[in-house]
Amino acid sequence: MSVYKIETGEVGGFGNRIYKKGDTVEASNFPPGNAEKLEKMGILSKVLEPTAKEKAAEKKALKEAEELAKKEAKEAEEAQAIADKEKEDARIAKENVKSLSDNIE
């Protein structure tokens, strides 16, 4: 399946769909043979498919990003738990101070 980028203006495809400059389309978005004709006219330019090495590198980068996001989410949860504990400790300390001051009076 060939992938193209719209280089100029607007182009109509199947279902009266209008594609604009910069859009990425497939040959299947047009009647058979039209994408090739539009490419020859300079309206479309063929987008190169990524190599297996590029696909593997992208997959690796995505996996690393997911792992980093999970690690950061876990760290954020731990930080929130610490903050919640400190807030609860402060509330208890405040109650204790109030209780002591009430007992002194």
Residue 92 predicted with pLDDT over 90: yes
Domain containing 24 equals 3-46
In degrees rounded to 5, what are phi and psi of residue 9?
50, -135
**66 and 101 together in one domain:** yes
Residue 3 predicted with pLDDT over 70: yes
- Could you tell me the pTM of the whole model? 0.46
What domain count does the chain have? 2
**54 and 39 together in one domain:** no
pLDDT at 20: 94
Burial class (CB in 10 A: 0-12, 13-18, 19+), 30: buried
Q: Which tops the pLDDT comparison, 99 or 13?
A: 13
Q: Distance (Å, rounded) from C-alpha 54 to C-alpha 51? A: 5
> Shortest CA distance to 38 belongs to which of 68, 13, 69?
13
**41 and 14 together in one domain:** yes
Residue 25 predicted with pLDDT over 70: yes
Q: Which tops the pLDDT comparison, 1 or 7?
A: 7
Tens of pLDDT, residue by residue over 36-74, are 999 999 999 999 876 777 778 888 999 999 999 999 999
